[in-house]
Structure 1
Amino acid sequence: MAEKKPNVILICVDQWRGDCLGIDGHPVVRTPYLDKLAQEGTRFSHAYTACPSCIAARASLLTGLRQETHGRIGYRDGVPWNYPVTIASEFTRQGYQTQAIGKMHVYPERNRVGFENVILHDGFLHCAHDHHPADYDMVDDYHPWLRQQLGRDANDFEHGLNCNSYTVRPWDKPEHTHPTNFVTSQSIEILKKRDPTKPFFLFMSYHRPHPPIDPPIWAYELYRNMKMSPPPVGKWSEMFAKCAQPHHPALWYGKVNPDVLHDARAGYYGQMTHIDHQLNRFFETLQMFDQWKNSYVCFVSDHGDLMGDHDLYRKSFPYEGSARVPLILRGPDGSFIKRNNVSGRVVELMDIMPTLLQCAGLEVPRSVEGRSFLANACGKDKEVHPYIHGEHLVPYQGSAHYLTDGREKYVWYSGNGHEQLFDLDKDPKELNDLSSSAKSAASLRKWRNEMVETLKDREEGFSDGKKLIIGRPVKAVLDTIIKSDRSA
């Protein structure tokens, strides 16, 4: 009899900071069930997103490609996804039943990117509303479900919260109708209706804790009166003063009223605890269906949220609150995944595709540029990458690039050539920019040379191979975006 293939479950949350797990030492956030998951597997303490925003990050996650290859290095909607090889296409091709539920953020919106089926809810996307003003149901499965549940015309924008705002309002409908519950409920339905003769690959993609910040009332109240230390703010953050908008509900930079920020953090953390509880609901159901013991579970976020760090908000910037993500891998009973293990090696989103294919014993396409971290999850201290290169367009600064090996971080802004250097071992909150320190001159020079080499073949002309070039035009999508005929 052929060996039974394991199920593989990839859980992606949106805009969840890498430090926001109880087991990571966060002093406020309560995530008991994710903490339990981490104790049953390996947690990666230096996992990063190479492009800290929704579309570009998901391109890396789903294709296993570097941003220079998949072509998305900033935020731009409406650009077709023409990737013939994806994590879903490979699981499908190699005999798995494949299903995605929740946020995809691809284009066209109904592009299944290799999945056999997608139950879609991207949240409020202006691009999708522009393309389908008369019937948003064409690109969203949550809204018709919501109307059916409530027995009336309804949508998730009735509370009026902006999709990038730090404004908080608890969920205005019964809790079971929340988008977070929707992803969990639909995932449980898939367990009931799946093909029992096949292993399954399930992509559970939660829109939250990305705004709108609208957790159930109990989850908000859990944190509302909790004492919280103020976010870290380095003196260097004044470099963003010209883009300050402290009274804008979807600002990038500004000194926000402390009480307003406290409410935002309470709601943000509440979204996390809500997801944590809903994941346990799914895990318990998986056990009831006798599938837990034969399933790999990977938990990750597409990017973080600065949430006031250095008076910055949202994502896109190269700092830890935005670029570092949580990553947990738990294996089936009898697997070699080490329990209660923490790996400090740097890994990134493109590494998840080859890792999960390897977990399932499947072929990894030659086109994949990510590197498997399965050996690290099994307890080996193996270098996956010497360092990570990340980037994103940012307001008023051109393109922000970073390099990190998990111990130090070098930042370069293409618009004005501004450099930063942080010692993450001694200063994980990035309070002290060491770029002007004489003691750090050699380290700064080393990282600058690495960036020159990393960027030397880019179409923007950021590097001539000898030096970094300031002021080059930037774009969210490269002209050389991957061709539709690229093959494995």
Structure 2
Amino acid sequence: MPADQPNVLVVMTDQQRYDTIAALGHDHVHTPNLDRLADRGVSCTNAYSSAPICVPARHNVRTGRDPVATGFLGNDKRSAEHLEAEHGAFLARAMGNRGYRTFGIGKFHAHPSGIDLGYDTRLTGDDYAAEPGADAAEDTGRLAAMNFLPQSCSLPPDDRRMSWIADEAVAEIERDTDDPFFGFVSFSKPHPAWNPSPPFDDYYDPDDMPEPIREDRDLDHVDEKIPAQNYHFWKSREDDTGESTIGIARAHYYGLVTQLDREIGRVLDAVEARDDAENTLICFVSDHGELLGDHHGWGKSSFFEESARVPFLVSWPERLPAGETYDGLVSLTDVFGIATTAAGDPDLRDGSDVLGALTGEAEPRERLFGAHETPRETSLFSLPHNLTCMVREGDWKYVYAVNGGREQLFDLDADPRETVDRADDEPEVVERCRRAAVQWLREHGATEYLDGDSLLEIPFEQLEMGRYHPGTYGPPDEASGEN
């Protein structure tokens, strides 16, 4: 390996929307440290989670394979121990094989709890579990209908688990060793419960929050997972959440983002204090976004921008320009290739050469694909599949649902809020994207979602996910507290 290998640090948050970095034109949120990170490198403004759900997004990053290849398309809690044998070394092990000291801190969302993810040092911490010295019911609020209600945490910021994650990350970054480091620092906020600590619980005025995108409910609920999730959390498929509740929920959500920004700043300070800071690559991403009342919905598991599009910052002062934006198509699948390419031994797997594209040495991605599905154990419907897939091509976004064979097409340039379905107006675009989706699924061996040379279509059945309660997704992982 090259003698001047950079340090590589991947920082991941959980359920953070793309529009939560002030420096990128979103001044409704205060993020001085993410702004600083954006100024340090390149902001990828068309970045997506290939499967906007926690578990598949994380397997996507650690394998560099598309979710339809790994078979993890929803939050099903099953063993991932077979993935390395089928797809190659996990990212941490791949970086260790390239001469790196490796550490992982925070949320991993991989099962079983003792699975070897390839880190030399692995410290698991998750805000789903009780805060240190606190009662989970009182201080994390992850209880039934309270999960999506705005609330406050009685613990001061320094006593929160997100602060502990930053503490441990700083300690690893400050270690003086001969080998370069590869670190994965994974925060489990701003995922619900939306419970910032003082003063962040009162940082934003609910009346100043951006108005939600709530126009055509029928168009929004073509994605049957949205009304199912609404009932799951709010006991209302139609989502009749009032404007006041939405505003307060948004204020608490952005309060968590700003509290989290404080911890990210401490990690960034530790990097910048190193002598080799200029030769340290930082990749900041989130696993997916959050509808937050947009499109008459809450949660993720949707290909609307607010759920599937994510913040994606890449900085490497020694090699990349500073303070620039890149509007090419990027996805979480690319993180594997970014890290291994920086290490001097590229392995793109299903990803594209993002570092090459950022320096003009590689062509931008022509199309980007995504797919997700509701796991069987949380679904009370009888269909064998309910895959939803996405194709991004230029300014077009095509979305297809196996359940009912429903499809939508949005022009993100003319209609960035995705309120006008253009599928009937643009049959050629629809057919081109449909063919591309068929080819992508076939190339990945996901033929169960095909009917010959066409996408599979099953008669529509309403999706039911039941009502959320603490045991909905099974008991917490005893070793990690993850759920």
Q: TM-score, normalised by structure 2?
A: 0.84
What is the 5 A alignment of 1:251-400? 254-332=239-317, 335-364=318-347, 368-379=349-360, 382-393=363-374, 398-400=386-388
Q: Report the CA distance shift for 1:23/1:379 in structure 2 as closer, same or farther (over 3 A).
A: farther
- Whether the 8 Å CA contact 1:391–1:402 is kept in 2: the answer is no
Look up the equivalent residue of 2:208 and give its one-letter code. Answer: K
Residue 169 (str. 1) matches residue 151 (str. 2): yes
Residue 418 (str. 1) matches residue 403 (str. 2): no
2:441 corresponding residue in structure 1:
455
Look up the equivalent residue of 2:115 and give its one-letter code. Answer: N
One of 379, 391, 395 as aligned partner of 1:403: 391
- Whether the 8 Å CA contact 1:338–1:379 is kept in 2: the answer is no
Query: In structure 2, the residue corresponding to 1:298 is in which secondary structure?
Result: strand
Look up the equivalent residue of 2:105 and give its one-letter code. Answer: I
* RMSD across aligned positions (CA): 2.8
Query: How far 1:187 moved relative to its partner?
Result: 0.9
- Whether the 8 Å CA contact 2:7–2:279 is kept in 1: the answer is yes
- Whether the 8 Å CA contact 1:49–1:303 is kept in 2: the answer is yes
CA distance in 1, matches of 2:267, 2:71: 35
Q: Deviations over 1:338-365 (max 9, x none)?
A: 2222111111111111111111223527
Q: Report the CA distance shift for 1:305/1:62 in structure 2 as closer, same or farther (over 3 A).
A: same
Look up the equivalent residue of 1:62 and give its one-letter code. Answer: R
User: Is the deviation greater in 31-40 or in 220-229?
Assistant: 220-229
Query: In structure 2, the residue corresponding to 1:46 is in which secondary structure?
Result: strand
Look up the equivalent residue of 2:110 and give its one-letter code. Answer: V
Query: How far 1:463 moved relative to its partner?
Result: 3.1
2:478 corresponding residue in structure 1:
none
Q: Report the CA distance shift for 1:26/1:392 in structure 2 as closer, same or farther (over 3 A).
A: farther
2:469 corresponding residue in structure 1:
none
1:428 corresponding residue in structure 2:
416
CA distance in 1, matches of 2:236, 2:27: 26
2:458 corresponding residue in structure 1:
470
One of 104, 114, 118 as aligned partner of 1:114: 118
Query: How far 1:298 moved relative to its partner?
Result: 0.6
One of 162, 177, 190 as aligned partner of 1:209: 190
Query: How far 1:121 moved relative to its partner?
Result: 1.4
Q: TM-score, normalised by structure 1?
A: 0.84
What is the 5 A alignment of 1:127-142? none
- Whether the 8 Å CA contact 2:93–2:117 is kept in 1: the answer is yes
CA distance in 1, matches of 2:8, 2:314: 11
CA distance in 2, matches of 1:436, 1:234: 19
Q: Deviations over 1:304-337 (max 9, x none)?
A: 10111111110011111111111000004xx221
Look up the equivalent residue of 2:120 and give its one-letter code. Answer: E
Query: How far 1:424 moved relative to its partner?
Result: 0.5
Query: How far 1:23 moved relative to its partner?
Result: 2.3
Q: Deviations over 1:80-106 (max 9, x none)?
A: 333331110011112111000000000
Query: How far 1:406 moved relative to its partner?
Result: 4.7
Q: Report the CA distance shift for 1:96/1:250 in structure 2 as closer, same or farther (over 3 A).
A: farther
Query: How far 1:250 moved relative to its partner?
Result: 7.9
1:22 corresponding residue in structure 2:
22
1:443 corresponding residue in structure 2:
429
Query: In structure 1, the residue corresponding to 2:345 is in which secondary structure?
Result: coil
Query: In structure 1, the residue corresponding to 2:83 is in which secondary structure?
Result: coil
CA distance in 2, matches of 1:420, 1:74: 21
Q: Report the CA distance shift for 1:283/1:243 in structure 2 as closer, same or farther (over 3 A).
A: closer
CA distance in 1, matches of 2:101, 2:405: 48
What is the 5 A alignment of 1:59-98? 59-84=59-84, 85-98=89-102
CA distance in 2, matches of 1:234, 1:318: 17
CA distance in 2, matches of 1:403, 1:111: 33
Look up the equivalent residue of 2:244 and give its one-letter code. Answer: D
CA distance in 2, matches of 1:339, 1:252: 45
Look up the equivalent residue of 1:117 and give its one-letter code. Answer: T
Query: How far 1:455 moved relative to its partner?
Result: 3.4
1:48 corresponding residue in structure 2:
48
User: Is the deviation greater in 55-64 or in 219-228?
Assistant: 219-228
- Whether the 8 Å CA contact 1:166–1:250 is kept in 2: the answer is no
Query: In structure 2, the residue corresponding to 1:387 is in which secondary structure?
Result: strand
CA distance in 2, matches of 1:59, 1:172: 33
Percent identity of paired positions between Structure 1 and Structure 2 = 27
Q: Report the CA distance shift for 1:189/1:341 in structure 2 as closer, same or farther (over 3 A).
A: same
Q: Deviations over 1:396-442 (max 9, x none)?
A: 792221111251111111111111110011111101111233xx222
Look up the equivalent residue of 1:97 and give its one-letter code. Answer: R
Instruction: List gaps (5 residues or longer) in structure 1.
Output: 126-141, 148-153, 475-488
Q: Deviations over 1:31-51 (max 9, x none)?
A: 122122112211111111111
Instruction: List gaps (5 residues or longer) in structure 2.
Output: 464-483
Q: Report the CA distance shift for 1:202/1:25 in structure 2 as closer, same or farther (over 3 A).
A: same
Query: In structure 2, the residue corresponding to 1:158 is in which secondary structure?
Result: helix
Q: Report the CA distance shift for 1:61/1:160 in structure 2 as closer, same or farther (over 3 A).
A: closer
CA distance in 1, matches of 2:99, 2:137: 39
Query: In structure 1, the residue corresponding to 2:148 is in which secondary structure?
Result: coil
- Whether the 8 Å CA contact 2:49–2:370 is kept in 1: the answer is no
Query: How far 1:295 moved relative to its partner?
Result: 0.9
Query: In structure 1, the residue corresponding to 2:416 is in which secondary structure?
Result: coil
CA distance in 2, matches of 1:472, 1:431: 23
CA distance in 2, matches of 1:103, 1:173: 20
Query: In structure 2, the residue corresponding to 1:276 is in which secondary structure?
Result: helix
How many correspondences in the alignment?
A: 444
2:4 corresponding residue in structure 1:
4
